[in-house]
Structure 1
Amino acid sequence: MEINGSVYNSGNISQRNVDAEGQTSVLSSNLFLDHVGEVTLTLNSDGLSWKSLYSLDNDGSTCLGIKFLPRMATKMATKLKFSDIYAVEIIDSDVIQESDLPLAAECFVGNESHDSGMNHFMVHTFQKSKSQPCLWSLAVYKFGNKDLQTCQMWVNKINDSLSKEVGRPKNLLVFVHPMSGKGNGRRIWETVAPIFSRAKINTKVIVTQRAGHAFDVMTSATNEELNSYDGVLAVGGDGFFNEILNGFLSSRHKAPFPRIPSDFFDALGNNSNPLVNDPNGADSESHNNIESDPLLSSSAHNESGFSHLRTNDGSHIEDQIENPLPNQRLRLGIIPAGSTDAIVICTTGARDPITSALHIVLGKKLCLDVAQVVRWKTTSTSKIEPRVRYAASFAGYGFYGDVITESEKYRWMGPKRYDYAGTKVFLKHRSYEAEVGYLEVESEKDSSILDGSRMFSRVRSLKRKKSERIICRANCDVCNTKPVYSSTRIPPAISSPEARWLKSKGRFLSVGAAIMSNRNERAPDGLVADAHLSDGFLHLLLIKDCPHALYLWHLTQLARKGGNPLNFDFVEHHKTPAFTFTSIGKESIWNLDGELFQAHKLSAQVFRGLICLFASGPEV
């Protein structure tokens, strides 16, 4: 044993050395790396690195969906950042043999001459697909040493470093929709649950029993109860996420209703203070509409699974903790198990449960715009009853509303129901008479947040060349621009006295408001290829009545990667922070994130970055 200043050596273990690249190493040891051979493993402030001393005659392999790295024939150093590691654990050979995965033992067989009497620890991380960088797969590095204390020391050191990673969740509330997609919700959660267990994340799992169950849990939960979690996950599709989103925001987002044109307001009549959003009032209305809208229903007894905090006399304790929005600590997350999963594709770049689970356990964070949609009248003859709903991806009328209405009849078909319903609706080629109003905004290529004091110029449509598009991606400059207003106040582009309302009236095949690009497997570039996740705008798409053949051409452009579905005379595209809608006919069904919403007269506005999501953005 030799002690020299701050350097301590004992056998093949050293601490506080300076490696070949000049970085101060906290720990360094000679260990055996499976499928590589003996290596010098070094722990630095930002991660692990190792250098092969010689290579074993082993090839790489893949088992149980976990890719073991191929042997390294050279002595080049290999690095692994702590930000990419989600777990480390000691491996007991007896535990492996008892695993409920029948091939587990075979996966961990290395070179038999070195495995004999060897203790092991495993470092869990991920690898990006070479052909699809957004697609992440599980990867594991298995290190060995005959001294168990050496392995335990490495596990403790790595865990200490992982505990310093900011933003990683420790406690999660998980909602599982058992009927999502084609009844795959429960199975998909069982597939990704081991990832959360390895990362030592506590999960409270609620398998929903009925429509609106998750909504009721979120609305009935107190702020103290929600603050005991680092995030809320939805194992399901876009509609299920919308249910949780509305349950979270309906009683917590306190903001004025969207600004509306003066004539729109006059048409509604003099209602008592209709521009004030009372979350408690909106919540109480949901109790009175159980049969008309199951999403907004509320049971008479508590099915949330929470134990409400009470005082000594049995009364409820009032919430004392404010939940400002966006809540930087409580994030929402999605494990895709639905029929389209557009939100997941737009925020992670892949429709893959493993990829989404890794984004969550690694604590990725991304802010999302959310549209506040206010229904003023349900039908042309109904009373004025403001009703608030929220949408994170899309709000659509006409063709979009008809497809979701028709598809509800064929839920047993799973994702294929949308193709079948879409074909039926397309063949009918129905158009609807309506009036749409929208706020004009100044034209800016970088889509940065607007200053209300600037002059506004009329933008009838945004038919830009492909070379002018700024696609939203990970670390997007447009989305990372900080807003200059609070999420509970109306954005300056809407509240500015210089903002003007423009109108479009006629017969429309569809009216759509895209809050994000809405990329999916049927529309690889989405409805609007250059829509951003957090820029404070939505993209209003007005598809006017046109011949059947032209509409088919428009739809085929949507379905083609690199297509230009907005480059038609019958298509209007307006980038705006707010819009209004009035149906002139009797029927008026909207599609909000895949959920039905009947509204004869409505208004909507976008709140920039209102919620935080476990995601990092697509790598496109």
Structure 2
Amino acid sequence: MHLQGTFYILKKRCKVTLTEQCISWIPEGSPECYRRILISEVVGTWLCPCGSSRCRVRPHSSAHAPARHDPSPAPLTPASPAPPVLPMPQPVAKMSGSGLTLEYCERGGGRAGPTWRTRTVALMHPANEMVVAWHQAIRGLLSGLRQRPRRLLVVINPVGGKKQASSIYKRKVMPLFRRAEVETRVVKTEHRGHAQELMEDEANLEGMDGVVAVGGDGLVNEVVMGLMLVACRRAGINPHDPQVQLPATPLRLGIIPGGSTDALCHSTHGTSDVVTAALHIIMGDSRQVDVASVHRDDQLQHVATTMVSYGYFGDLLRTSERWRKLGPTRYLLSGVLQLFRNRFYEGQLKVRAPATPLAQPYDVNICSDRCNVCTKAAACSPTPGEWLQFTGRWSIVTSAVTSCACRLSPHGVSPAAHLGDGCADLVLVAGRSRCHTLSYLFRTAFTGNALSLDHVTFHRAQEVVFTPKAGAAESSWNCDGELLTEPKLRLRVHCQRVGLFSRGVEAVNEDPSKTPVPAKTVAV
């Protein structure tokens, strides 16, 4: 497919080219202002007969656009004959007629991390037939993008975090989905475990291309747990058997951050920005990530996508549950209280490391959207190695499935953890003094180099078994923000079993093929 034509963009005459991969334009007399937009990064397009600024920031009402201006295009297939190259029209003295608006994604950056934003541009032309032909062609290309979701089940936790999930979805996400022509079914959770119940009822998943969780890590955990149980039921696998390899989830999961920490969203996108997360869903990005199963007495207790932590973080969560009326502030107050209590816990750990690790916790190269480690693990999962066993007294025992980066800790619990290497990073903070615990927390939150502390050890493991010392003090487990009161458990990491609408953490750099036009466009 190849279309060429001349349109007016911000009252400047531009040569515009449309192919199956991209749409590009260049103002006449200004070759240095070349602009190229990938079709995969186009959110949507609509006709704007009046060409006003209002039409450039949202779809034009059907009441103002004649029906003949907006025909439904048929998807373009490789077998379809390529449309002819349209002749470039002669210049006109006055810009009139009709036009179309194109909304597309643009990489941002800055302090918020690798963010994305949408921008719009209006293409005006005096010949209405020309505009309609281009509108049909662009919509046809968009409908042919098979990776994009068309129908989504949206699950919202209205009481999580700062209780703003419903408002976040209504103000920032729903308008984007509408302009991208994504059909949604919205359900608000009513009690703890409701999201898991929704996922286990396969009637709710019928005809859906994915699930979107609007909330915090607790809601995401429930959705993943439900999808895992559905996958096990379809595959005829007993999920309560700790020796069984769990199957992959049947649908991709999109995460709209609306909780207190939003660690999984931040770890997979590099930011907790709502618009960025929504655009990755619209573009249909895909990334497989690890998930850990948590068993006790041959019963599946939970799954974990970020971390499972015993000691300080378990005590913090247990105390904060009593202060839910304080909102996210309760975590800070509970954390200070645990430091004053200065508790340590004795137990035995059995750790199974991979026979040949693909990476180590102290590696400099971190996981990204083009991670070689995750690519190798997808081709061949790491072979289990020997079991290691040791006892000790620790203030913190954490198994980090991902880096667990968030707004409060940009580097994460384990900065070198990978999204899909089939391993978790076991972090052990020896129980010696309050200062040792505080130094670990400070470095984790601000510098990301806690590994250099003498009282902190890291192990890359595929399986972890923890047994508390008989008669000694016991703590609770913090599993993705959910409280597990029984101290004895077995954790096993399953390689790349959860599909997300994500690319991974992107490097913030400029694309040399995209030189922005000096003239202003409207940002949404």
Q: Tell me the TM-score normalised to structure 2 length.
A: 0.83
Distance 1:52 1:239, change over 3 A: same
Cα distance, 1:602–1:75 mapped onto 2, change above 3 Å: closer
State the 1:386 CA deviation.
2.1
Cα contact 1:543–1:570 (8 A) shared by 2: yes
5+ long unaligned stretches in structure 2: 62-91, 508-524
CA shift at 1:516, angstroms?
0.6
Using CA pairs below 8 Å that are at least 6 residues apart, which structure has the higher relative contact order?
2
**How many angstroms does 1:368 deviate by?**
0.6
Corresponding residue number in structure 1 for 2:288: 367
- Letter of the structure 2 residue corresponding to residue 166 of structure 1: R
Separation in 2 of the partners of 1:502 and 1:170? 48
Q: Determine the structure 1 residue equivalent to 2:198.
A: 217
1:221-260 aligned at under 5 Å gives the runs 221-222=202-203, 225-253=204-232
Q: Does structure 1 conserve the Cα–Cα contact (< 8 Å) formed by 2:221 and 2:304? A: yes
Number of residue pairs matched by the alignment: 468
Partner of 2:376, secondary structure, is: coil
Equivalent in the alignment of 1:392: 305
Structure 2 counterpart of 1:474: 369
Say if 1:522 and 1:275 are closer, same or farther in 2 by CA, change over 3 A. Answer: closer
Question: What is aligned with 1:122?
Answer: 101
The two structures have a TM-score, normalised by structure 1, of 0.71
Q: Name the aligned partner's letter for residue 186 of structure 2.
A: V
**Alignment equivalent of 2:147, drawn from 162, 167, 171:** 167
2:137 matches 1:157: yes
Deviation at 1:481, TM superposition (A): 1.9
- Whether contact under 8 Å (1:182, 1:413) holds in the other structure is no
2:166 is the alignment partner of 1:186: yes
Task: Let me know the Cα RMSD of the aligned residues.
Answer: 2.8
8 Å contact kept, 1:182–1:412: no
Matched residue, 2:402: 516
Q: Is the 8 A contact 2:149 2:210 kept in 1?
A: yes
Query: Does residue 42 of the first structure (1) align with residue 23 of the second (2)?
Result: no
Amino acid at match of 1:157: A
Given residue 46 of structure 2, which amino acid in structure 1 is its aligned partner?
E
Secondary structure at 2:495 match in 1: strand
**Partners of 2:51 and 2:98 within 8 A in 1:** no
**Is 1:357 aligned with 2:278?**
yes
Deviations 1:411-460 (CA, angstroms, capped at 9, x unpaired): 3333322222111111111111211110133464x43xxxxxxxxxxxxx
Residue identity in the other structure for 2:390: S
Could you tell me which residue of structure 2 aligns to residue 87 of structure 1? Answer: 44
Q: Percent identity?
A: 29
Give the structure 1 partner of residue 177 of structure 2: 196
Per the alignment, in what secondary structure is the counterpart of residue 344 of structure 1? helix
Q: Residues 115 and 162 (structure 1 numbering): CA distance in 2 closer, same or farther, change over 3 Å?
A: farther
Question: Aligned pair in 2 of structure 1 residues 204, 114: CA closer, same or farther (>3 Å)?
Answer: farther
Which residue in the other structure is 2:412 paired with? 526
CA distance in 1, matches of 2:131, 2:199: 43
Cα shift at 1:568: 2.2
Moved over 3 A (4+): 73-76, 92-101, 113-118, 254-258, 274-279, 440-444, 482-485, 585-588
> 1:56-455 to 2 correspondence within 5 Å?
76-93=33-50, 117-131=96-110, 134-190=114-170, 191-222=172-203, 225-253=204-232, 325-327=248-250, 330-376=251-297, 386-442=299-355, 444=357, 446-447=358-359
Paired with 2:195 and 2:161, the residues of 1 have a C-alpha distance of 17
Sort the Cα spacing of 1:93 and 1:420 in 2 relative to 1 into closer, same or farther, 3 A: farther
Cα distance in 1, alignment partners of residues 189 and 242 from structure 2: 35
Instruction: Tell me, in whole angstroms, the C-alpha distance in 1 between the residues paired with 2:308 and 2:237.
Output: 20
| Alpha-carbon distance in structure 2 between the residues aligned to 1:134 and 1:344 | 12
Give the C-alpha shift of residue 586 in structure 1.
5.5
Q: Partners of 2:115 and 2:243 in 1: how far apart?
A: 44
Query: Is the Cα–Cα contact under 8 Å of residues 86 and 124 in structure 1 kept in the other structure?
Result: yes
CA contact (8 A) 1:41 1:49 kept: yes
Letter in 1 for 2:178: S
TM-superposed CA distance for 1:549, in Å, is: 1.6
Equivalence for 2:87? none
Task: Tell me, in whole angstroms, the C-alpha distance in 2 between the residues paired with 1:484 and 1:137.
Answer: 33
Q: Which runs of 5+ in 1 are unaligned?
A: 1-24, 55-72, 105-112, 259-273, 280-323, 377-384, 448-461, 486-490
Residues 479-500 of structure 1: per-residue CA shift (max 9 Å, x gap): 1125466xxxxx6633xxxx32
Shift of 1:161: 1.4
Please give the alpha-carbon distance, in whole angstroms, between the structure 2 residues aligned to 1:160 and 1:192.
Answer: 24
| Partner residue, 1:582 | 467
Show the counterpart of 1:493: 383
For residues 165 and 99 of structure 1, the distance between their equivalents in structure 2, rounded to whole angstroms, comes to 24
Superposition deviation, residue 94 in structure 1? 10
Q: Which residue of 2 aligns with 1:592?
A: 479
